[in-house]
């Protein structure tokens, strides 16, 4: 991984660094319309799949965490990445966005080998909340504005940037908190701000790691609606999820990991979420319905 890429990635992670290298990335060319039916795709489409991971291996702390993963996300698809705690879901998406180096295998983004890929403005990434914690004293609007950095040329934000930030804030229901420091937010609100930051960049490919974790049911429905609009507008989405929940109707395909290997790639498991998946062995309390409607393993 080059320093250049690492800097850009750190900027996206913290959301506060001014003008990282990704700000100079070229604006993407006009995007072709998504093709919903993979069978109807022209042969050349495969070369431009937003994500193509082949035989990916990764080792963390001396342990093999990804053990030969194939993961393809085609244009316009909504793919759920499922699996028990520790199965490698976050590591897989972090490798896609360049935060975890692969020890083997191949990764291409939009048909371009990872090493040569520079067009980060095409990708929006919402990290798993626990990895996004920061004590940075930024306001909600500042954090969301960082999602525009890769779209901006040098100079102050333009009208289009400000409008995109405002739209993203409204989409996640945080417009009235725009001036508040992010440190004053609840966990679920913080999560919504991170999602707004990714949406503000108007990416073609959205990668979200447990976007619903810690978000109450009302906000989950709002976010599901937001995502539905993104998909209708042609976005491609990779979601790490514990339970399909309100996003279930949106999911085209599910990839299930177990111990760093893909054990299922096909139709999403029907209305069972995580609990019916192979390898579901983590423990989390099932809260009373009136306390917190949906809990995921992340917070427990």
Ligand X SMILES: Nc1ncnc2c1ncn2[C@@H]1O[C@H](COP(=O)(O)OP(=O)(O)OP(=O)(O)O)[C@@H](O)[C@H]1O
Write out the residues near ligand X by the rule CB under 6 A.
60-61, 65, 83, 85-91, 128, 297
Q: Between 85 and 139, whose beta carbon lies closer to ligand X?
A: 85
By the rule CB under 5 A, 230 interacts with Mg ion: no
Q: Between 19 and 281, whose beta carbon lies closer to ligand X?
A: 281
Residue 162 corresponds to which tokens in the numbers above? 């400000």
By the rule CB under 5 A, 128 interacts with Mg ion: yes
- From the CB of 278, what's the least distance to ligand X, in Å? 14
> Which residue is nearest to Mg ion, using beta carbons?
90
- From the CB of 60, what's the least distance to ligand X, in Å? 4
Q: Between 86 and 234, whose beta carbon lies closer to ligand X?
A: 86
How far apart CA 20 and CA 150 sit, in angstroms, is: 8
50 binds, among ligand X, Mg ion, none (CB under 5 to 8 A by kind): none
By the rule CB under 5 A, 99 interacts with Mg ion: no
- Residue 105: burial class (beta carbons within 10 Å; 0-12, 13-18, 19+): middle
Q: Between 46 and 261, whose beta carbon lies closer to ligand X?
A: 261
Q: Between 101 and 183, whose beta carbon lies closer to ligand X?
A: 101
244 binds, among ligand X, Mg ion, none (CB under 5 to 8 A by kind): none
How far apart CA 12 and CA 20 sit, in angstroms, is: 9
279 binds, among ligand X, Mg ion, none (CB under 5 to 8 A by kind): none
86 binds, among ligand X, Mg ion, none (CB under 5 to 8 A by kind): ligand X
Write phi, then psi, for 252 (nearest 5 degrees): -85, -35
- From the CB of 93, what's the least distance to ligand X, in Å? 8
181 binds, among ligand X, Mg ion, none (CB under 5 to 8 A by kind): none
245 binds, among ligand X, Mg ion, none (CB under 5 to 8 A by kind): none
- From the CB of 185, what's the least distance to Mg ion, in Å? 21
65 binds, among ligand X, Mg ion, none (CB under 5 to 8 A by kind): ligand X
Q: Between 141 and 258, whose beta carbon lies closer to ligand X?
A: 258
Among 52, 72, 87, 90, binds Mg ion (CB under 5 A): 90
How far apart CA 250 and CA 235 sit, in angstroms, is: 12
Q: Between 130 and 139, whose beta carbon lies closer to ligand X?
A: 130
Q: Which residues bind Mg ion (CB under 5 A)?
A: 89-90, 128
């Amino acid at each position: 991984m080059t320093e250049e890429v690492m800097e850009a990635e750190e900027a996206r992670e913290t959301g506060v660094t001014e003008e990282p290298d990704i700000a100079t990335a070229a604006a993407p060319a006009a995007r072709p319309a998504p093709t919903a039916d993979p069978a109807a795709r022209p042969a050349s489409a495969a070369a431009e799949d937003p994500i193509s991971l082949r035989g990916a291996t990764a080792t963390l702390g001396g342990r093999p965490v990804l053990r030969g993963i194939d993961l393809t996300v085609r244009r316009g698809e909504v793919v759920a990445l499922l699996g028990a705690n520790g199965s490698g879901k976050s590591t897989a998406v972090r490798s896609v966005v360049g935060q975890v180096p692969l020890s083997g295998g191949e990764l291409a983004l939009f048909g371009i080998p990872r090493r040569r890929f520079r067009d980060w403005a095409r990708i929006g990434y919402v990290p798993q909340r626990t990895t996004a914690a920061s004590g940075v004293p930024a306001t909600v609007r500042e954090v969301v504005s960082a999602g525009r950095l890769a779209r901006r040329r040098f100079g102050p934000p333009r009208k289009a940037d400000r409008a995109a930030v405002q739209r993203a804030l409204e989409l996640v229901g945080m417009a009235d908190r725009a001036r508040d420091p992010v440190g004053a937010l609840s966990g679920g609100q913080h999560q919504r701000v991170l999602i707004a930051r990714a949406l503000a960049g108007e990416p073609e490919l959205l990668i979200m790691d447990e976007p619903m974790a810690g978000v109450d049911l009302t906000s989950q429905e709002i976010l599901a609606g937001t995502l539905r609009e993104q998909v209708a507008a042609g976005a491609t989405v990779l979601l790490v999820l514990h339970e399909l929940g309100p996003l279930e109707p949106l999911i085209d395909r599910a990839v299930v990991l177990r111990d760093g290997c893909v054990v299922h790639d096909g139709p999403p498991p029907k209305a069972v979420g995580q609990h019916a998946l192979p390898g579901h062995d983590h423990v989390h309390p099932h809260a009373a319905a009136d306390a917190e409607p949906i809990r995921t393993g992340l917070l427990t």
